[in-house]
Structure 1
Amino acid sequence: MAVTEKFKDFNASRVPLQGSNLIEASAGTGKTYSIAILMLRLILEKQLLVKEVLMVTFTKAAVAELEERIRLFVRTAYKYVQGEEIADGTIMQLVDEAMENLGVEHVESLLRDAVLFLDETSVLTIHSFCQQTLTQFAFETKQLFGAETLQDTSAVLQDEVNKFWRKEVTTLPSELLEYLIGAGLSRASILNVVREHLGGKHYMSFREDEEYSYCEDDHKEILQMLRQLKATEDDLRQCLVEHLDERAEEIQQLAMGNSYAKKSLQAHFGDSEALLSAIVSKKSTGYIQKLFPDLLERHDECDDAAEKWNGEVYKVISRFNCMAIGQISRGIREYKMQSNQMSFDDMIVNLHEALVVRDQYQLVVGLREKYKAVFIDEFQDTDDLQYAIFQKAFGEDTILFYIGDPKQSIYAWRKADIETYFEAFRQAGQRYSMNTNYRSSAGFIASMNLFFQPVEGFDTFYFQGAADSIDYIQVESPVNNTKGELLKNGLADIPMSIIGKPNKDAISEGVAAQVMALLDDETYSILKNGKERPVRPSDIGILVRKNSEGQAIKRILSKYNIPAVTIGDTKVLKTEEAVELLYILDAMLNISLSTINRALLSPLTGLSIEDVLLLNEEQATERFGLYKSTWEKNGIYNALMDFISDFKVQQNLLEGQVENGERIITNLYQLVELFHKVQSSKILNPQELLSWLKRGIDGMETEGDEYLQRVESDEEAVKIVTIHKSKGLEYNIVLAPYLDFTFFEKREIFSFKHPELKKYVSAVKRELTDTDMVLISAQEEQENRRLLYVTITRGVYKCFIYKNTGRRNSTLETFTQVLKNADQSLIALEEGLEIPEDYSFRKGAQAWKPFVPEGEVDFKLVQQNWTRMSYSRLNVQHERSAKYVYRKHSGYEEFIFNQLQRGANTGNMLHFLFETINFTDSERWNDKIDAAIKRFAPRYQEDLPAMLHTLLSHAMNAVIPFDSAAFSLAGVNYTKRIHELEFDFTVPSFNPYHLRSLSSEGMSVDVHAPGSMEGLMNGKIDLFFEHEGKYYVLDWKSNYLGDTLEDYSQDQIALAMNENNYHLQYLLYTLAVKKYLQTRLPDFDYSRDFGGVVYMFLRGVRAGQATGIYVQKPSEDTIGKLEGLLSSDVI
């Protein structure tokens, strides 16, 4: 069957909404858009509720993107049915057809309900879906109630490995232990084997039904056998050396008679052992084989004896590995049972057990009643267990769409199984393909088609004629492709370049040189919609396979001052900043001059040895004693923030001569936040937290998204991204170094999909046959080609591919050999550029020539003091006057003053509630309260739902006391409010301290900022709403000011406004809103249209009263003065 005959063309507006369907969506073909269109059709045509549609994808980022798109499309459709103009023709067509079939009122009702209940949309990761199902159907799945998620299993695994090592390994006879350790047995090797096995890659030697153990008699027997084998090997080798001694003169004469042998052996005459080693090292050469056949034959006997000894030793190690798997698996299971915890893998296994293995009928019925339509996104990343779950639950009587691209299946190390995709392909009722690329320019699409299919019948993805295979289908450009193109010297540049360099270092330099040329060479520009502009740093993506490769390129770019950020899989606990904080924490906990000096001699403080020696030792010791006291009483966050403030860490990193200061700051604050979270969630004392950090630096505590290194500020920077992280992203210009993938044999453990066992297995090379090695090599080559595909298809206009000419038989060479005679107008073979002498990229005028911005964007990098500013960045932290004194209350007063915890989690929960409830309809609050509790306070007290309902009622019905007209939030319709309104506006160079001039009687404005600043002013407004023709800004505050209503009187909250510097915050917010409204209301009048700002201190807010509420309308003169200091245009 021809490739194109396997699939029908996919049209999201017309595909039947029935049965099981598989959609193969090539890169850039609008998969997320299509899913959102299908969701809209389900609402309009099948009249499904949003909660009746399940969408499963495989990363949190994909969940966020998909949910955002669905929300946008549903709201856009609702606007259209209400008579507003929209731009999307497909949505217009779907709504028009629905109104014609169902009537305008019915369609408006469907969409209104969909908008109201968007928070019930089920867009979940696979683990979230499994967890939710196990919780909801706990009886059917035989789950323990209240089970918690064990997010990080590494510490438990390490503890069990340590137990096994102490019990089984350290008790061995010393001679046997020496043999085993010499052959590679170690704690780390056992940890690797067990981790792979528990991660789903079955250790090939392990049998579930076998009990593995060794007793003392076994040890003696093994040791005796190994001694005998070792003695045999030693005897043979000694005999061989003695044979050389006896024939020394003869061997020397033979060697001297051959020029090659003379050159390689003469230096070793007189030392038989060295001579033997030299002969053996050259045994593959013809002259050695001809001169010394008898010596080689006798040496082979020695090798055979050594191999026999090694084989027996490895049998012992393999059995120890199997023992470890059995004992450690049991230990981890017992730990999870005793602590009532489940790992992420357990969720999938447990649901599979209930659905597939035990065939729980009621569970299937319950899931099908709950979800009438199901989408499995990124399906190529699914494994066999996950597919079996979806197929059992939704394979019948459900609208089911599997959507993915097998060409982008690059997670074999995470058990993503291409065989599962083939199985789904065979079982799908209908198969569709998406082959119109909306991401890339027409020229680049043509070059990709040529690259991946250079000649007819080319085996793009290396399936060698297998019945199940992945084929490259030529992708098409849209009829009206408006992407534009990259110009060079005013003409369209060749869309793909393959550049040869002799080695990795030359490739790194070549990549940097090309980036320099793109940014500083005026011959390059981007043409789009008739407008030409220079190339910016943010247009460029450099894609690498390993984090270390990205760091190497970033070092070169940083050397020449080119702004660049790395986006990869680096763990923040593996950074240098984690080590620096370890020293600081150690000094706080174990106070001595040596620990303090080590902590202070750090890039964080910028102190030199001379600076540290000049410090007053008594004062330094006292200061670290205070940090320790703060840590013990108020937590690690406060202790570290005190240290950062005392030693001006942020100022040093931003203003000092510190390379990558912004990167260091990002890591620093992420680590501080992580320490706080771990200390709070695990309830660790200081010593335990220090031990946890040490384990983390050693790589034992790094599971979960919070451990991934965050990206520093990247608005105008070259992105250096790992290929795996780049999936789903796009870059105008892609540079792809290091694509010369080859099969690497020299490693400890191999993992692969075993065709007979039909599952992933792990094994050491000694256990593998030649057939196994061929299979492993083929599977890795297939994945390498898919990595090539993912890399190149990220591009919009151009891709520079770098080839290592010194590396043979690579994945890339398979393509470049065939492309030697390719159309040079689509793919050019080039030598590449060299870095110019004395080059230095300068931000500002010479970074790129001035350009006309698209839309309202007014942003470019200029001076070194450019930064992203916010209220938090400018704010000065004052001492709080409120002191917590416990007084016993009753009812709501007890809850709001004593039970409602202080801290970020409570604030986040309350923000979530205010963002999701309908202010005017209290009867529908309970669902939102339940969702908030489940997310933020799963172990809550029984009366928490009722108390939160009361809190919301007080907030909605409290009096907002503006002089012009008091009102309450209960009168604010949901269509008249925007939550988390984010703003950015550019700020030219100014001195932040000038903002202090905004202070007036009763209103203090304080500022902390180092020197002159410029850049973007950024912020998020909790609530922006309109009431009776006026626009207001509202900020929710859960601050604790005291435990009586008197503590929230107007005088007290006015004091809190000054202490917390909130006047600066609302002045900035007011200016942002003024700019926002000026762009949307042609006749905007500040005095008439702006109502003012509201600060609700929620603990003191009561229905029918104005306690806890601060209101203010800054004068127009004050805002004008602020605007004069921060004059710019809104982005």
Structure 2
Amino acid sequence: MTTPALTCPLIGVQLIEASAGTGKTWTLSALVARLIVQRQLEIKQVLAITFTKAAAAELRDRIRQRLVQLQHGLAQPQSNLEPDIFLDYMTGWVHAKRCQSQAIALLDNAIANFDEATITTINGFCQAELIEQALASGMPFETKLLTDIRPLVEELVQDYCRQRWQQAHPVLVSYFINHADFQPSALASFVLTVLQKGQARIIKPEIATHKMLVEQTQLLWQDFAAVWLQQRATIAQLFVEHIHLLDGKSFKLASLEKMYALLDIECQHQLQGILFHKALKEALKRFSRAHLDEKRVSKTVKANQYFPSHPFFVLAEQVWAKLEELEAYVLAVGFSFKANLVGVIKYQLLARLSAEQSQSFDMQIKRLAEALTEPDVGAVLAQQLRQKYPVALVDEFQDTDDFQYQILQHIYIQPEAQQQHCALFLVGDPKQAIYGFRGADVYTYLKAHDAIHKQQRYHLDTNQRSVSPLVNALNNLFNQQTNTFKQDKIHYQEVKTGAREHAPLIDVRESTQANLQPLRLSYWPTEKTNKEQGLAWAITNAVNEVVHLLTGANQKQVFLGERVLQAKDIVFLVRSHNEGEQCRAVLAQAGIKAAVQSKDKVFQTPEADDMARVLAAFAEPHNEAKVRAVLISRLCSATLTQLLVWQEDARQWTQQLMRFQHYHKLWQQKGFMVAWRDFLQQEQAIARISHLPQGERILTNLLHLADLLHEEYRQRSGMRQLSDWFNQQRRQTTDSEAAELRLESDENLVKITTIHQSKGLEYPIVFIPSLWQPPRTDKLTPFYHQQDEAIFNLSQQLDEQAQQQIIAEVLSEDLRLAYVALTRAVQRCYIYWCPLQTSTNDGRLSALGYWLESYLSDMPRLMQVCPDIRVMAQGMADVDYWQAPLHQQPLLAVKTAPKVGRGFRLTSFSSLQQGAKSHYQEAEVLEIKDDEGKEIIIEEPDDDVALARFNFAGKSVLAKNVGNCLHQLFELVDFRQEVSTWDSLIEQQLQNHGIITTWTPDVISWLTDVMQAPLRPDLHLKDLAPWQTLRELDFHLPLHKLQTTAFIRCLRQHGVSVADLPYQEITGFLKGSIDLVFYHQGRYFIADYKSNHLGHRFEDYQPALLHEAMYSHGYYLQAAIYALALHRWLTSRLLNYKPEHHLGGVFYLFIRGMHAQGQEGILPWQPSVALLEDLSALLEETP
């Protein structure tokens, strides 16, 4: 078996087209491993770029996993029990080159230094390099990155509109103000869309000068309105007396009365009030002289008789003609306004961001591209980047754009790059280019494809995702059109089935032949329908099939491998969230619960409004209006009657206000999350919301918002600052992945997600209800390509060629979207067809209609040509109901939760030390803190020579405040930086912990000593880079009937000095958090900071005195627990972990006594391997 991951050269430019499910990430990780071993590159020399943070995180994990697997496979070949073509290839290569030891060393180094790997998004890469190469790129050294420029664009749009409309004619201003397309938010969206297509040429409309057109039309309209209002009765009488002269179908007295009433109203308005009024224009046309003459009955024509003349009819015709002309002019002005707006905003945006030293994501990409094209400077910058990253791998290359490709071109597709043996791997699939609305441009991919020599282009053609019959069925479907994607340069190449094993989907109610038909097409045998009816038909039949499958599973007749099919194996892929909600509603009607996965932001939900009211009431509990707003919300659900009763009774109303005063104090003292949780409990909000429709969704959003607030609270502890931040998030859009709606439940639910969101994922059974719907082209931005040039055509009227090109490009993208949807399924895929044929929609312009064009009049014939596709006729049906199996019913029942067993709890070092709390508690969460809640007792020194550190914080500050302050500092800082640069952080932490900031200079001097103190002759804290450290490593050690006496006995047997503990038998978890774990010279160490006050001189922190403190405070017990936790953590993460080689020991750092000239304050302890093994065995024992 051959694959590009094994065969393609590791120098030059290589393009790898990865069809869906063919192992793109597998290929990328294999290439990185080859680069490390075969080209002997360091991991930091390899640049890997993808397009989302989530994708970057996944790619990082997969690459590291690949390196670890290869290292393990080469080091221990006897353990390679499963076939692995990559490992086999690399083993053969290594043996042929006789470089096994070297290869293992290279991989060890890559794994150890993996934190140095640059695996990032294109935005992250550009931002980092613009800062690092600030001089060469022309970027300011201090630049702020704006993740969302929409608020700024909206502000600039509003300013521009205000300036332009002040000078415009009132008629034009009225049109702009009252037309949805010219609202500031719509204009901002339009500008952002154009800016995304940064290199597109903009065609502006040409407007003929009509200086007097508005005035002429206005005068005509005034004359017309005056005649009607003055002579209405006369004109109406003419129709009464002479109606027989006109065609009775066109002129009836009843319909004329309606037009009279319309004119009565509209003639009261000025010209700007009647523009684009279809009904008025129709009335004017019917009252025109030409129309009256045209609609005479035949006998009057023969007799040469005419409807009586009146100035009104002539004016009606003139007004109608002028309105047509004026409306065309206004539309042209609107298009011109938009074209000018884009140019002005583009310029102003650059100027504003430059003045504020800010950049957007798109602008920093463009800035780097421009820097690389500048004479001389560009060549230097490109050379620096090639030296730093001789190799780059670009994932999802089909989603690139011109600026991104320019960056790659100027770095890697140059003669200098070839001479320096650089490599560029472009990995993507143009068939999956579906993000045009985000600025991605498949034409850039195609341009790159054409520029790369054929011998340097590869194709991954083995599908590892889907079962063989489904692969065959999709091959057949995509080959029904020779130009599969209606794009001459995007071809469909058949794929083969891979060796990956899949659990078969078996329905024992069906024949063997039917079970081997995984692609199932249902069609509606009707002549035509509309979109609404068609979608209702498709969703209903899809849901009924889900009922059929789950019912079979309940009856042990539908299996996925060795287990019965479950609801979570099923997904609905939809085009829009509205379609998803329709699917959810019909599933609910059938008794099936579903979870909607969405990229929508939680800040734009109704729950964000609820949370904003809660924040306001917590922050200002004295503000009765804000408290009332929460009380009558769905969180508290007070009725208007209850509210009135409370407010009429001063005592009751005061009680309500005091509750919110309580939440206010909790927020002040313990943080927002504590106040929020107390509010939920006291107000019984969870139980109340759970009974609402979509209660689970509401609760999920509220808890999600609370989590985001809690995270932000760490940076903005003030109530006002946190509230302001939250309201800002609600006002603006954000690209933050953390703000995307969470799945409301991990229960066994049917999933609903958009096709765009499903890209890169796979599901056992897929339902796609709407592939028969053609995409809309009437509301699209006029963007298209002409001779490989991107064009925004803002002309009022597009020529036929441009219109056809837009339609073709929209269909091409819809075909690619359908390809993505169809290739998500592993075992089975359901699709639907109904004959949509209306005046504005043609089903043949849909993806499915395009592929099945030859079968639209005879769908059953498709099954004869493609036997892997099952074709079924289905009419409109009622929704079936699924009877959930009995064992699931308790999920819906009110049930008392069982109590946690006696002795089961979450315990910690602190609780072991205290030993006072009942071990029958169901749960207790105790932090490991040495002297929590105690006051620092500092005796006055005998003389004045004591350093400030020995008196730090004075007598009245709680020890936990001092300890927490110092711990927080050590958690946040970069040890390698000069302590003097920490000044603002030190000052902030002192304030946060109630310590006056005049201590700042003393703390800087003190911590400088701490950083320089020798833990060992070759080891200081200042030597540790961030990648070498883990701060606050949390752990949970499982316990089963652990006896504290046995634990203490084990420690003493190994020579550890520990005091007795009260007898307890504990089942549950032992919880803790290690201050610092660091990596040094191949070994892992623990450091624990202690702020204990042992005296006023360094001599008071000698080792003998530290031993006494360790014993009296029980720190040796704590150290043993920490060492055991690290031992277990490393056991689970290092393949070849040996504690005698990898475990470096424990340092207890009594930081008041540490200084640069000696080892006072530093107590090292090395637990024996035997102790750790005995303690580990003790935890695993089951009495």
TM-score, with length taken from structure 1 = 0.74
Change (3 A) 1:271 1:1056: farther
Name the CA distance, whole Å, in 1 between partners of 2:767 and 2:899.
Answer: 27
AA paired with 2:871?
L
How far the C-alpha of 1:366 sits from its partner, in A, is: 0.8
State whether structure 2 residue 466 is matched by structure 1 residue 440: yes
1:786 shift after superposition: 0.6
Q: Equivalents in 1 of 2:967, 2:549: separation in Å?
A: 44
Q: Which amino acid aligns with 1:761?
A: F
8 Å CA contact retained: 1:741, 1:784: no
Cα gap change, 1:566 to 1:76, in 2 (>3 Å)? same
Contact conserved, 2:768 with 2:830, CA < 8 A, in 1?
Answer: yes
Separation in 1, partners of 2:1153, 2:885? 53
1:605-624 equivalences under 5 Å are 605=636, 616-624=652-660
Match of 2:396 in 1: 378
Change (3 A) 1:883 1:194: farther
1:190 maps to a residue whose letter is L
Deviates more, 1:403-412 or 1:879-888: 879-888
User: Conserved in 1, the CA contact under 8 Å of 2:246 and 2:295?
Assistant: no
Displacement of 1:470 in angstroms is 1.0
* Aligned position for 1:186: 183
Letter of the aligned partner of 1:540 in structure 2?
Answer: I
Q: Partner of 2:760 in structure 1?
A: 728
In structure 2, the partner of 1:518 is 549
1:841 alignment counterpart:
884
Deviation at 1:66, TM superposition (A): 1.4
What are the Cα deviations for residues 1026-1065 of structure 1, in whole angstroms up to 9, with x where unaligned?
A: 99xxx9998x98999999999999999999999xxx99xx
Query: Is residue 69 of structure 2 the alignment partner of residue 76 of structure 1?
Result: yes
Kindly state the Cα deviation for residue 862 of structure 1 after the two structures are TM-superposed: 14
Separation in 2, partners of 1:898, 1:219: 76
With 409-418 and 306-315 compared, the bigger mean Cα shift is at 306-315
Paired residues of 2:469 and 2:868 also in contact (CA < 8 A): yes
Q: Structure 2 unaligned runs (5+)?
A: 263-277, 302-306, 308-312, 525-532, 647-651, 838-842, 908-921, 941-945, 954-958, 990-999, 1041-1058, 1136-1142
Q: Judge conservation of contact 2:1123–2:1172 (CA < 8 Å) in 1.
A: no
Deviation, 1:444, is 0.7
CA 336–38 in structure 1, closer or farther in 2 if over 3 Å, else same:
same
Task: Output aligned runs, 1:1046-1061, within 5 Å.
Answer: none
Contact 1:589–1:687, Cα closer than 8 Å, also in 2: yes
Question: How many Å apart are 1:1121 and its aligned residue?
Answer: 11
Quick one: distance in 1 between partners of 2:937 and 2:787? 69
By how many angstroms is 1:61 displaced? 1.6
The equivalent position to 2:330 in structure 1, one of 279, 301, 313, is 313
Counterpart code for 2:617:
A
Match of 1:63 among 53, 56, 59: 56
State yes or no: 1:17 paired with 2:10.
yes
Contact 1:36 1:69 survives alignment (8 Å): yes
Q: 2: distance between equivalents of 1:788 and 1:552?
A: 20
Deviates more, 1:658-667 or 1:73-82: 658-667
1:498 aligned residue (505, 521, 524): 521
Deviation at 1:1095, TM superposition (A): 12
Letter paired with 1:119: D
Letter in 2 for 1:827: I
The 3 A distance-change label for structure 1 pair 1108 and 42 is closer
Offset of residue 1001 of structure 1? 10
Structure 2 equivalent of residue 744 of structure 1: 776
CA contact (8 A) 1:584 1:600 kept: no
Instruction: Letter of the 2:862 partner, please give it.
Output: A
2:13 & 2:1076 partners in 1: Cα distance? 44
> Alignment length, in residue pairs?
1013
Which structure 2 residues correspond to residues 335-374 of structure 1 after superposition, within 5 A? 335-358=352-375, 360-374=378-392
Give the 5 Å matches for 1:18-417: 18-84=11-77, 85-86=79-80, 87=82, 88-169=84-165, 177-184=173-180, 185-200=182-197, 224=215, 227=218, 246=238, 255-256=247-248, 261=249, 267-273=254-260, 304-318=321-335, 320-321=337-338, 324-325=341-342, 328-358=345-375, 360-396=378-414, 397=417, 398-417=422-441
AA paired with 1:16? Answer: P
**Identity fraction in percent:** 23
CA RMSD of aligned residues (A): 6.3
SS at match of 2:581: helix
- What is the rounded CA distance, in whole Å, between the counterparts of 1:645 and 1:702 in structure 2? 31
2:447 match = 423
What CA distance in whole angstroms lies between the structure 2 residues aligned with 1:391 and 1:206? 28
> Match for residue 599 of structure 1?
630
| Distance apart, 1:783 and its partner CA | 0.6
Partner Cα distance (2:709, 2:484) in 1: 47
Question: In structure 2, what is the Cα distance between the partners aligned to 1:648 and 1:348?
Answer: 50
- Who is 1:571 aligned against? 601
- Cα 1:515–1:597 shift into 2, 3 Å: farther
Deviation at 1:1080, TM superposition (A): 14
The letter for the 2-side match of 1:39 is: V
**Structure whose CA Rg is larger:** 2
Give distance in 1, aligned partners of 2:544 and 2:359: 50
Q: 1:416 to 1:837 in 2, by over 3 A?
A: closer
Distance 1:776 1:134 in 2: 37
| Aligned residues of 1:1053 and 1:1110 also touching (Cα < 8 A) | no
Name the residue aligned to 2:1047.
none
* 8 A contact 1:265–1:279 mirrored in 2: no
| Cα deviation digits, residues 2-38 of structure 1 (max 9, x gap) | xxxxxx9853212222221111110000111111111
Give the residue type in structure 2 aligned to 1:442. Answer: S
> Offset at 1:170?
6.0
8 Å contact kept, 1:578–1:697: yes
How has the CA–CA distance of structure 1 residues 846 and 273 changed in structure 2, closer, same or farther, with 3 Å as cutoff? same
User: Which residue of 1 is the match for residue 484 of structure 2?
Assistant: 460
Cα distance in 2 for partners of 1:767, 1:894 equals 77
Structure 1 pair 1075–51 and aligned structure 2 pair: CA distance change class (3 A): closer
Asked if 2 retains the 8 angstrom alpha-carbon contact of 1:229 and 1:308, the reply is no
Deviation at 1:641, TM superposition (A): 4.6
Name whichever of 1018-1027 and 33-42 sits farther off.
1018-1027
Partner letter of residue 396 of structure 2?
E
Contact 2:591 2:881 in 1 (8 A): no
Please report how far the alpha carbon of residue 121 of structure 1 lies from its aligned counterpart in structure 2 after TM superposition: 1.6
Q: Secondary structure at the match of 1:13?
A: helix
Of 495, 508, 527, the match for 1:475: 495
How much has 1:77 moved relative to structure 2?
Answer: 1.4
C-alpha spacing 1:804/1:81, structure 2 compared with 1 (3 Å): same
CA shift, 1:230, in A, is 5.7
Change (3 A) 1:320 1:977: closer
The answer on 1:826 being equivalent to 2:868 is: yes
Could you tell me how far 1:550 is from its partner in structure 2?
2.0
CA apart distance, 1:300:
8.4
State the distance in 1 between where 2:15 and 2:319 align: 59
Cα offset for 1:107? 2.0
Q: Distance in 2 between matches of 1:901 and 1:1023?
A: 11
* Structure 2 CA distance for partners of 1:133 and 1:271, relative to 1, 3 Å: closer
> How much does 1:553 deviate?
2.4
Q: Is the 8 A contact 2:398 2:429 kept in 1?
A: yes
Instruction: Kindly state the Cα deviation for residue 541 of structure 1 after the two structures are TM-superposed.
Output: 1.9
Question: Contact conserved, 1:380 with 1:409, CA < 8 A, in 2?
Answer: yes
Change (3 A) 1:278 1:345: closer
Alpha carbons of structure 1 residues 1020 and 898: separation in structure 2 relative to 1, 3 Å: closer
String of CA shifts for 1:966-1011, please: whole Å, max 9, x gaps: xx9x9xxx99999989999999xxxxxxxxxxxx99789999xxxx
